[in-house]
Each structure stands twice: as structure tokens, then as C-alpha cells.
Amino acid sequence: MKVALKMKMLTLLGLFLACSTIGMNRASAQTVWLDQLDLSNATQGSGMPMKNKTVDRRVLTIAGKTYERGFGTHSVSSLLILLEGKATSFTAQVGIDDEVIGRNPAAEFVVMGDNKKLWSSGVMRSNDTARTCSVSLVGVKKLELLVNDGGNGNYYDHVDWVNAKFETTGETSLKTYNPISSDKYILTPPAAATPRINTAKVFGVRPGSPFQFLVATTGDRPMKFTAKGLPKGLKIDSKTGVITGKIAKAGTYIVSLGAKNAKGKAEKTLRIVCGDQIALTPPMGWNSWNCFANEVSADKVKRAADAMVKSGLINHGWTYINIDDFWENHRDSKDETLRGKLRDEAGYIIPNSRFVDMKPLADYVHNLGLKIGLYSSPGPWTCGGCAGSYGYEKQDAESYAKWGFDYLKYDWCSYGNVINGLKDNDPYKVSSLSYNGGGELNTAMKPFKVMGELLRSQPRDIVFSVCQYGMSDVWKWGGSVNGNCWRTTNDINDTWVSVKNIALDQEKSAPYAKPGNWNDPDMLVVGTVGWGNPHPSRLKPDEQYLHISLWSLFSAPLLIGCDMEKLDEFTLNLLTNDEVIEINQDPLGKEATCVHTIGDLRIYVKELEDGSKAVGFCNFGIELVNMSYNEFAKLGITGQNTVRDLWRQKDIKSMDTANDQLDIEVPAHGVLLYKFIPKK
Ligand code: GLA
């Protein structure tokens, strides 16, 4: 009886347990929607990751059908999700959002599980009906939802994952993650109180042009400046360190610069080359676009110039204060401050009401020891729809010189309309036209040739920045139209995708860089940027170190694109490292190329004038690189060398590069920037 009772109880217990397990199973097969996860960990080509909205914050819509739930993003987009085997399947519909119809977007959606491709949509375009994605995730630990560009660049690739959800085994704690560290660490040592002359070692000027050159120097003030061996016609202001005047005769002049304060003194040799070529080192300064875009004004420009001085950046060689688009009147803006007569009766351009008088503005900037730049387009309209130079090139070049400008960015924009005789003034429809080969090449060169010659004939030196996004292999002919630098790519933005793609695209133009002729991978995206919608750069700290290191290795023009009044300690650390800047400003003017690749580690080498080499160990991958490196022959480095860490400004090793190894640890998306100095 006792035994029978026990048996009955055990059976009941068994039944109870069985039922509760079934109950648990039922409860456990839970659905987790993608929009319930933290989408802010996504990286994407433009804009911000959006929950239940498009990247432009509209209702998710694919081929006319609207969706309530989903993830609106922009290619190239990557969202990493830690599954740890907790999910059994993922389903979604994907497509290009209708908000970009007519813009020619193309993208491919891919699902990666533990680095293996589980599903791909194939290339999708506007108006394609949503494609259904359904993948089994049994056993998958890490998932990546990826959207690649569809082969025509990622312009306007606004893409949606809609009705996207996971079935899970009961665990609902799926987490997105971003493998790149957010730790902001400072590497640049503070400038010493003793003088250090940071100015470039060479400066070019044309005979008879007004000369202005600041001996950029860090150290306590007051400081006394001297310059021995100045050619006839030049003098130095001993208090400010600004050299002014005019040189009548072409020639090379070796000048001995001196700077002295209560703590000590410094000397440096400057080579002044008076001849045909200017911009003998890449221009360094600031440009209004990445920060203010269409909201620029004379007041903002003055404040940027003041901040250049107040922040001390001026003492590290930062020189140009460049006004981008929107100083001109607009063709049809609703903003009254941009409306007015475009030109006077003689065809001379009239600045908009935010600028009014350009000459006093240029004087203001010059009086601070800085230089000033301006912007126009060879077409009738600039990219922003303001008055361009087409038909008035002569008057414009004269105005720039008369006002005292030192730099012109000349931006293709609506010039395609001129070629095609189009009435339609939408610049984006034509800005990506490519002109490769024969007769068409002349068409591509023509407007820059016209302005280049006009600038050359002005009575002052005006750096000519050619901007046509790298069409027609501009690096091969930019110098022949008097260009001092030329954009090699489309517009940059403050995303890893943008910086990475631009960086990887520089190899073909690299051999063409030389003093006076620079490849321009576009402006810097550190600090508070945002094209009128200011926010801290979305690049992670290591990505910012990599960005500045690469642009230095590339001998790129360095144009800060941020709000100069909001410079934080981290950004200042990026922009005030004189040993890093020295790599950019090296007088030999070579551009680094990637000479050795190990997985995601790309090793860039730049030859320097003194026979040493700058080497960037650049980690484009998402894992830390930790290794012993010994293939120096591949980098063209031989013999006994001192290895100097430029960001930390410290010698780290003396080594025999044929036999010794160098231990390197490069953070994900980060860099080590070293100089290999051969022992004599
Ligand atoms: C283009 C250029 C940008 C900026 C804008 C201004 O997009 O590439 O750098 O000058 O035009 O409208």
C-alpha cells in the first residue's frame, strides 16, 4: 500500500514536471523584435540608426507599402548582435526606402552568422518590392546585419529592415554591440614652456606677390622672434613672428629663424622658394562646411579665426580660415539673408547680407596672422544653389584678389549642366558624371584651366583647390591647370565607413602628390561637426587617431571641419601634435602608400626628406592586432634604426631591422604612427 502510494505520488510528480516543462517551452519560444534592441550600436554610412523610422525620420516605406516596425539605416551599415545560440531564426523584409526615389540608390542586404554569409538579398534598387529574409540561427553566436552599397557608391542608399524579428529559445536578452572602444585617451604631450618653432621648413611665393608668413611657435609669451638672411623686401615683426613684404627676385633663400622667451630659445631653418610654385607643403587650416554648411556668416568666420588664435592652434601651423558655400546670394532660398542681387552691372559678385563687405573680413583675419579662403563653382550655381562663376570668371578672380583672399576652392557642381546644356539646375543629377578619355577630358579640365589661369594673373598668390570629387583622374592633370590640390573623392562624413572607404581609395593617386600639388581626400571630421546640425564626431577615438595619422601620411591638405569654439581636450590633442603634423608638412612632399598588408593590418610608409620613414600600422579590422613584426625589408627599411612613437613623442626602441622584432599592439580601427630614423 505504501509502495502503491509512493508510485502514485511519483507518477503525479512526473506528470506535474512534464506539464511545467511544456508550459516553460511554450513561454520560452519568444519573439524579439529587432527594434527592441539598442540600434545605436550600428555603424552606417550617413545619418543616425533609426528605430521604426527611416534615416530621414519618415515612415518606413518600401515600394509604396508602409511599415510600422523596423530599422532605418544607410549603407554601408553594420549591426552586430550577440546571440550566443539563444536565437533560432531571424525573419525580416528588406528594401530601399521610397524617400530616395529618383536618386539612383542601390544596396545589398546581407546576414552574416559567425562570419559566414547566411543570406543575401542581391542588389536592390528604388521601387523594388521588399524581399523576404528568413534564416535559421540555430547555434549561431554572433550575427551581423550588413547593408553594402550596390556598386555605385553609397550616395542616397537609405535602406530599411522591416518587420524584423528573432525567434528565441526563451532567452530574450539579445544584445547589440560595437567592438570599437569608446575610451578617449590623450597621447599628445602638452607643449613645453620653452620655444619650439613648428612652422613648415619650406615656403613658396611668387615674385612680387604680397608675402605673409607666421613663424608658428609654441612656448610661453612674450616671445622675441628673429629671422636672419631674409631676402630683400621682407621683414619680421619681432613681437608676433609674422614676416611680411614682397620679394622681387626669384630664387631660393635660406633663412635662420629664432624664437626666444624667458625659459629658453629655439632655432629653425626656413627655405623660402620664390618662383612659380606655391603651397609647397599641404595647406593647413579650417573650412566652414563640415560645421556650419548653409549657415555660415562673417561673424562665425571671425569667431573661428579668433578661436584659431585663442586655442593656440595657430602656433602649430594652422593657417587658412576658409569660407565654403553660402557666402553668395541664393537662386531661390526662402531665407531672406541669402536673397539679393547676385551681381552688379559690371558682373562683379555681390556677397549676401551675412557677409556684406569682404575686404574688412579678410583684413581682420590677416591681422591675426592667419590667411583667408573662399569658395565658388565653375557652373552657374554652386552645389548649394548659390551664384557660381560661370560667365563671370574674370570678375570673380579679380574680386577675390581685390578683397585679399589667399585660397579658392572651386567646386564642379552645376558645371555638368553647362556641358549638357541642361535647363534643370539640380546639381546632384550631374555631379557624378565621369569624363574619361580623349575629347571629354578637355571638357573636364576646361573650367579649372580658365580659373587657374585667371588666378595666376592676379597680383597676389591664391592657392587653387580643385574640387570635382576625383573625376577623370584629376591627379594626372590637376597641376597642369594650376591646381595646388584636388579632391580625390566624394564628400566625407563623420562615419567610420566614410573615412575607411576614402582611405582605401587613395592608392592610385598617391604617386602624383608633390610640393605644390596635393591629393585631397576631403576635410577632417574630428571635433563638433554636423553640417548645420552640430554633434561630436561619431568617429570613435581610435578612428580619429587613425584619420589624422592617415591624412598626415597622405600629405593631404589638413582642413579642420569643426566648430572652433567647441574644441575639447581630446580634439586639441589630435590637432596639436607637432611630430605628427611634421609628417604631413615634410618638404619632400611624398604621399604614403600601403606597402604591406597582414589581414586587416595595413602598413603605410611615407619617405621623408631627412632619409627617415614614417610608418603607420593601421588596423582596419575589429579585433586588436597583437604581434611581433620583422618584415622591415618590405617597408624599405634596412640597417640600424631608432624607432620613435610620434603620437607619444618618445623613442621606443633602437633596433637592427634585419634581425630584431618589433612588438606591436594596434587597437581595432586604431593606429601606431612610428618614425624609423636610420642610424648614421
Ligand atoms: C560639395 C563639396 C563640399 C561642399 C559643398 C558645398 O558637396 O564637395 O565639400 O563644398 O559642395 O555646397
Question: Which of 177, 207, 225 marks a domain boundary?
Answer: 177
Whether 18 is covered by a domain: the verdict is no
Q: d(Cα 543, Cα 43) in Å, to the nearest integer?
A: 12
For ligand 1, atom 9: residue with the closest CA? 491
Q: Best mutation site among 325, 331, 431, 465 for ligand 1, i.e. most ligand atoms within 8 A of its Cβ?
A: 325
Grade residue 17 by pLDDT with cuts at 50, 70 and 90. very low
Atom of ligand 1 nearest to the CA of 469: 8
User: Residue 297 pLDDT > 60, yes or no?
Assistant: yes
Q: Which grid coordinates are listed for 219?
A: 612656448
Tens of pLDDT, residues 246-275: 999 999 999 999 999 999 999 999 999 999
Instruction: Report the pLDDT value the prediction gives residue 20, as an integer from 0 to 100.
Output: 39
- CB 320 less than 6 A from any atom of ligand 1: no
- CB 516 less than 6 A from any atom of ligand 1: no
Q: Are 654 and 642 in contact (CB under 8 A)?
A: yes
- Which residues are tagged catalytic? 411, 491
- Determine the Cα angle at 608 with ends 607 and 614, to 5°: 65
Q: d(Cα 329, Cα 389) in Å, to the nearest integer?
A: 12
Look at the alpha carbons of 483, 489, 493, 494 in this order and tell me if their dihedral is positive or negative.
Answer: negative
Atom of ligand 1 nearest to the CA of 384: 12
- CB 383 less than 6 A from any atom of ligand 1: yes
**Residue count of the chain:** 680
Q: Which grid coordinates are listed for 638?
A: 634596412
- CB 291 less than 6 A from any atom of ligand 1: no
Q: Are 519 and 488 in contact (CB under 8 A)?
A: yes
Same structural domain for residues 295 and 226?
Answer: no
Give the pLDDT mean for 298-316: 98
Tens of pLDDT, residues 176-203: 999 999 999 999 999 999 999 999 999 9
Whether 19 is covered by a domain: the verdict is no
Q: How far is the CA of 289 from the centre of ligand 1 (A)?
A: 7
Atom of ligand 1 nearest to the CA of 522: 9
Question: Which CATH number is 664's domain given?
Answer: 2.60.40.1180
Whether 214 is covered by a domain: the verdict is yes
Tens of pLDDT, residues 341-361: 999 999 999 999 999 899 999
Give the pLDDT mean for 135-147: 97
Note down the domain range covering 326.
284-578
Instruction: Report the pLDDT value the prediction gives residue 16, as an integer from 0 to 100.
Output: 45
Same structural domain for residues 550 and 568?
Answer: yes
Same structural domain for residues 268 and 304?
Answer: no
Instruction: Report the pLDDT value the prediction gives residue 314, as an integer from 0 to 100.
Output: 98
Grade residue 439 by pLDDT with cuts at 50, 70 and 90. low
- CB 374 less than 6 A from any atom of ligand 1: no
Same structural domain for residues 473 and 332?
Answer: yes
Q: How far is the CA of 105 from the centre of ligand 1 (A)?
A: 20
Atom of ligand 1 nearest to the CA of 324: 10
- CB 121 less than 6 A from any atom of ligand 1: no
Instruction: Report the pLDDT value the prediction gives residue 15, as an integer from 0 to 100.
Output: 45
Counting the structural domains of the chain, the total is 4
Residue 478 neighbours by CB under 8 Å, 6+ apart = 448, 466, 485, 486, 512, 517
Atom of ligand 1 nearest to the CA of 490: 8
Phi/psi for 323 (5° steps) reads -90, 125
Q: How far is the CA of 406 from the centre of ligand 1 (A)?
A: 19
Q: d(Cα 28, Cα 171) in Å, to the nearest integer?
A: 7
Q: Best mutation site among 287, 290, 324 for ligand 1, i.e. most ligand atoms within 8 A of its Cβ?
A: 324
- CB 384 less than 6 A from any atom of ligand 1: yes
Q: How far is the CA of 306 from the centre of ligand 1 (A)?
A: 24
Give the pLDDT mean for 394-418: 95
Residue 166, Cβ density class (10 Å: 0-12 exposed, 13-18 middle, ≥19 buried): buried
Q: How far is the CA of 491 from the centre of ligand 1 (A)?
A: 7
Same structural domain for residues 600 and 519?
Answer: no
Q: d(Cα 113, Cα 10) in Å, to the nearest integer?
A: 44
Question: Which of 252, 274, 296 marks a domain boundary?
Answer: 274
For ligand 1, atom 8: residue with the closest CA? 491
Instruction: Report the pLDDT value the prediction gives residue 417, as an integer from 0 to 100.
Output: 82
- CB 289 less than 6 A from any atom of ligand 1: yes
Whether 183 is covered by a domain: the verdict is no
Grade residue 514 by pLDDT with cuts at 50, 70 and 90. very high
- CB 520 less than 6 A from any atom of ligand 1: no
- CB 380 less than 6 A from any atom of ligand 1: no
Question: Which CATH number is 64's domain given?
Answer: 2.60.120.1060
Q: d(Cα 96, Cα 476) in Å, to the nearest integer?
A: 37
SS3 state at 27: helix
Same structural domain for residues 265 and 296?
Answer: no
Q: Which grid coordinates are listed for 347?
A: 558682373
Give the pLDDT mean for 407-420: 89
Same structural domain for residues 346 and 372?
Answer: yes
User: Residue 63 pLDDT > 50, yes or no?
Assistant: yes
Same structural domain for residues 598 and 531?
Answer: no
- Nearest Cα neighbor of 217 from 197, 191, 201, 237 is 197
Q: How far is the CA of 410 from the centre of ligand 1 (A)?
A: 10
Whether 170 is covered by a domain: the verdict is yes
Same structural domain for residues 552 and 620?
Answer: no
Instruction: Report the pLDDT value the prediction gives residue 423, as an integer from 0 to 100.
Output: 53
Whether 16 is covered by a domain: the verdict is no
Whether 7 is covered by a domain: the verdict is no
C-alpha dist (Å) from residue 212 to 136, 209, 276, 518: 67, 9, 17, 21
90 C-beta neighbours (distance < 10 Å), count: 26
User: Whole-angstrom distance between the N-terminal and C-terminal Cα of the chain?
Assistant: 102
Same structural domain for residues 36 and 70?
Answer: yes
C-alpha dist (Å) from residue 505 to 76, 328, 544, 557, 620: 16, 33, 18, 16, 14
Residue 556, Cβ density class (10 Å: 0-12 exposed, 13-18 middle, ≥19 buried): buried
Question: Which of 122, 145, 177 marks a domain boundary?
Answer: 177
Question: Which CATH number is 267's domain given?
Answer: 2.60.40.10
248 C-beta neighbours (distance < 10 Å), count: 11
User: Residue 418 pLDDT > 90, yes or no?
Assistant: no
Atom of ligand 1 nearest to the CA of 383: 12
**What are the b/e assignments for 421-445, b being 16+ CB within 10 Å?**
eeeebebebbbebebeeeeeeebbb
Question: Which CATH number is 366's domain given?
Answer: 3.20.20.70
Whether 387 is covered by a domain: the verdict is yes
Phi/psi for 316 (5° steps) reads -110, 5
Give the pLDDT mean for 485-503: 95
Same structural domain for residues 321 and 450?
Answer: yes
Q: Best mutation site among 408, 467, 529 for ligand 1, i.e. most ligand atoms within 8 A of its Cβ?
A: 467
Give the pLDDT mean for 90-94: 98
Tens of pLDDT, residues 554-565: 999 999 999 999
Same structural domain for residues 433 and 533?
Answer: yes
Lowest pLDDT segment from 339-343, 528-532, 548-552, 580-584: 528-532
Q: What is the mean pLDDT of the chain?
A: 93
C-alpha dist (Å) from residue 234 to 204, 237, 401: 14, 10, 21
Q: Are 415 and 424 in contact (CB under 8 A)?
A: no
Q: How far is the CA of 383 from the centre of ligand 1 (A)?
A: 6
Lowest pLDDT segment from 62-71, 110-119, 425-434, 644-653: 425-434
Residue 50 is which amino acid? M
